[in-house]
Chains A and B, each alone.
Chain A
Amino acid sequence: MSEVVHNGYKSGSNLERVLVAGHFAVTGELGPPKNHDANVIRRKAELLKGCVDAVNITDNQTAIVRMSSIAAGVILIQEGMDPVIQMTCRDRNRLGMQSDLLGAAALGIKNVLCLTGDHQSFGNHPTAKNVHDLDSIQLVRMVKDMRDDDRFQCGEEIPGGGPRFFIGAAANPFGDPFEFRPYRLAKKVAAGADFIQTQLIYDIPRFREFMKRVVDMGLHEKVFILAGVGPLKSVGMAKYMRDQVPGMIVADEYIERMEAAVKHIDKTDKKARAEAWQQEGIRICIEQIQQIREIEGVAGIHMMAIEWEEAIRPIVEGAGLLPRPAIQ
């Protein structure tokens, strides 16, 4: 509520505090289960605890029905962690989203990541009707207007003041048209994004080029940019991401390294191959983080290791990012 003092913070979330204090931030990602088992969230939270400053909770990721990101976020708060709830424009109109934002704030959630959302045709309800009442940029603006002007999207005043979120948005440096990507990021910043999490990066030169333009435009001074990274798990996964995931580029170098990792292992020894791949995937990821840290304008990393949350600790540790700062 607006009478509360915010100490200059927008939401005062742990993520915001870490970034404002100038630390190189680490966020992780947690995919809720396809059922209502709260223990799945607690188990995964355990793997992330102490390794990350905040945890993104996906919102029906890849258009597959899962536990709601807000509900899962509340479980994370109970575990003493700082959730970033993802909110897509696919499943809710502006009424549903604002009502959920009020609810999320009431339950103590302080970060929201505004997304367009994967198309329902990719998921498990391909015959569903999608919403897309707003797009992600309009959603960012709506959350900002609720926070900074205490107004609903319709312009009506929110009695007692609006919910205060640290507002995130996504950026894909690898989507086309490439030249427009920094400008679309600028639109998100202008709409009110406080932080950006990028798509998974498997093409560092192209990301560097993107960041150079972003820095030339001065955007890195207006928004915290967290670079998306994640460990490859096998050659198959690397190729799948390269060929099947829309808007993704995977440099051949990584595919070759993953191939080389199992070159001397017998094809029938599946266990040894999987282990070799995992080790190489983790090694590549650590190297990537080190390269990304050198790039001007990057304020942190966003680790995506969905269904392989065990990899996060070794990576964050290997990259020299432990312990995470504790800020009061």
Chain B
Amino acid sequence: MIVGEQKPLAEIKQMLAGFHKVLLVGCGTCVTVCMAGGEKEVGILASALRMSTRLDGNAIECDEVTVQRQCEWEYIDPLGSRLANYDVVLSLACGIGVQTLVQRFPNVWVVPGLNTTFLGMPPEQGVWEERCQACGDCILDKTGGICPIARCSKQLLNGPCGGSQKGVCEVNPQTPCAWQLIYDRMSAMGRLEQLLEIQPPKNWSAARHGGPRRIIRDDLRLPEDYRTA
């Protein structure tokens, strides 16, 4: 899932300064599951904003709505008619949701309520960890299903670096060394010899370094006349 974290209230208030009527728009997908921008969080943040701006002496009127998925036209289109009633939209979706709103409703000022943080999962309740950097050229078959692009601080393809000690990464003792994990897994699976192969330099052009990415599936595309922007 896409994991996000709510911005500090003070920063959100700064983005809303000067506005009087705000619509908070939550998203029912990833950020609901990671408890950062779903219906519940929208409700809590709205109350906090109401209270705090009232205490400051310039109360902002806050309305709430949560759509099932903020990154698809069909789920946000129904918002269209309401938006004219607000002078700003505070999106609690990931950065993709924010941009989907902006693209669909070019006359509306939209600000982000979350910091979109990473692609990951919760190994335990209340903890989320990064797992993938969407590098566009997955190599998990070479590393036993543990991603060094996302999980090694130096993105080594031929790790571990000299700083790996007692299973933790030199950069942060809270982070397991990805290459220790890879080594342990390959060794448990009887595949250590695979780690002796030198991995050549990665083709980063498939990652963000090649510029913004786009996938086009002609087998799925509608005929030109039927396409929606």
Interface residues of A (CB under 8 A from B): 89-90, 94, 116-119, 121-122, 130, 132-138, 141-142, 153, 170-172, 174-177, 180, 183-184, 186-187, 190-191, 199, 246-247
- Min CB distance, B18 to chain A, in Å? 29
- Tell me whether A132 and B198 are in contact (CB under 8 A): no
- Tell me whether A116 and B154 are in contact (CB under 8 A): yes
Whether A199 contacts B158 in the complex (CB less than 8 A), given A138-B200, A138-B201, A183-B195, comes out as: no
- Interface code B150-187, partner A: CB below 8 Å = 1, 0 otherwise? 00011111111111111100111000010010011000
- Tell me whether B198 and A247 are in contact (CB under 8 A): no
Whether A121 contacts B201 in the complex (CB less than 8 A), given A116-B156, A176-B165, A177-B183, comes out as: no
Q: Which residues of A contact B183 (CB under 8 A)?
A: 177, 180
Q: Which residues of A contact B188 (CB under 8 A)?
A: none
- Tell me whether B171 and A119 are in contact (CB under 8 A): yes
- Tell me whether A141 and B198 are in contact (CB under 8 A): yes
- Min CB distance, B135 to chain A, in Å? 12
- Tell me whether A175 and B165 are in contact (CB under 8 A): yes
- Tell me whether A175 and B161 are in contact (CB under 8 A): yes
Pairs of residues from A and B, 5 with the lowest C-beta to C-beta distance, nearest first: A172-B162, A246-B170, A246-B163, A137-B158, A135-B156
The answer to the question of B19 belonging to the interface, with a C-beta cut-off of 8 Å to chain A, is no
Q: Which residues of A contact B180 (CB under 8 A)?
A: 176-177
A172: nearest chain-B partner, CB-CB:
B162
Q: Which residues of B contact A199 (CB under 8 A)?
A: 162
The answer to the question of B84 belonging to the interface, with a C-beta cut-off of 8 Å to chain A, is no
Q: Which residues of A contact B157 (CB under 8 A)?
A: 135, 138
The answer to the question of B196 belonging to the interface, with a C-beta cut-off of 8 Å to chain A, is yes
Q: Which residues of A contact B109 (CB under 8 A)?
A: none
B157: nearest chain-A partner, CB-CB:
A135
Kindly state the separation between the CA atoms of A232 and B68 in the bound complex, as whole angstroms: 62
Q: Which residues of A contact B160 (CB under 8 A)?
A: 175-177, 180, 184
- Tell me whether B166 and A187 are in contact (CB under 8 A): no
The answer to the question of B75 belonging to the interface, with a C-beta cut-off of 8 Å to chain A, is no
- Tell me whether B154 and A130 are in contact (CB under 8 A): yes
- Min CB distance, B178 to chain A, in Å? 13
Q: Give the tally of cross-chain contacts (CB within 8 A).
A: 93
Interface residues of B (CB under 8 A from A): 153-167, 170-172, 177, 180, 183-184, 195-196, 198-202, 204
- Tell me whether A135 and B154 are in contact (CB under 8 A): yes
- Tell me whether A186 and B196 are in contact (CB under 8 A): yes
Partner of A247, one of B153, B156, B170: B170
Partner of B162, one of A133, A170, A186: A170
Kindly state the separation between the CA atoms of A172 and B172 in the bound complex, as whole angstroms: 19
Q: Which residues of B contact A183 (CB under 8 A)?
A: 195-196
Q: Which residues of A contact B199 (CB under 8 A)?
A: 138
A183: nearest chain-B partner, CB-CB:
B196
15 A-B pairs within 8 Å (CB atoms) are namely: A116-B161, A119-B171, A135-B155, A138-B198, A141-B198, A172-B163, A175-B162, A176-B164, A176-B165, A176-B180, A177-B180, A183-B196, A187-B196, A246-B164, A247-B162
- Min CB distance, A218 to chain B, in Å? 15
Kindly state the separation between the CA atoms of A116 and B160 in the bound complex, as whole angstroms: 10
Whether A132 contacts B204 in the complex (CB less than 8 A), given A183-B195, A187-B196, A247-B170, comes out as: no
Partner of A187, one of B153, B161, B170, B198: B198
- Tell me whether B163 and A132 are in contact (CB under 8 A): no
- Tell me whether B201 and A133 are in contact (CB under 8 A): yes
Q: Which residues of A contact B167 (CB under 8 A)?
A: 176
- Min CB distance, B159 to chain A, in Å? 7
- Min CB distance, B142 to chain A, in Å? 14
A171: nearest chain-B partner, CB-CB:
B162
- Min CB distance, B79 to chain A, in Å? 36
In the complex, given contacts A130-B154, A133-B204, what are 16 additional A-B residue pairs having Cβ atoms less than 8 angstroms apart?
A94-B201, A116-B162, A119-B154, A121-B171, A122-B171, A133-B202, A135-B155, A137-B158, A138-B199, A172-B162, A180-B195, A183-B195, A183-B196, A184-B160, A246-B164, A247-B163
- Tell me whether B156 and A190 are in contact (CB under 8 A): no
Q: Which residues of A contact B156 (CB under 8 A)?
A: 116, 132, 135
Q: Which residues of B contact A133 (CB under 8 A)?
A: 201-202, 204
- Min CB distance, A174 to chain B, in Å? 8
Kindly state the separation between the CA atoms of A136 and B155 in the bound complex, as whole angstroms: 11
- Tell me whether A135 and B162 are in contact (CB under 8 A): no
Kindly state the separation between the CA atoms of A89 and B152 in the bound complex, as whole angstroms: 14
Q: Which residues of B contact A174 (CB under 8 A)?
A: 165
- Min CB distance, A192 to chain B, in Å? 10
Whether A247 contacts B165 in the complex (CB less than 8 A), given A187-B196, A191-B198, comes out as: yes
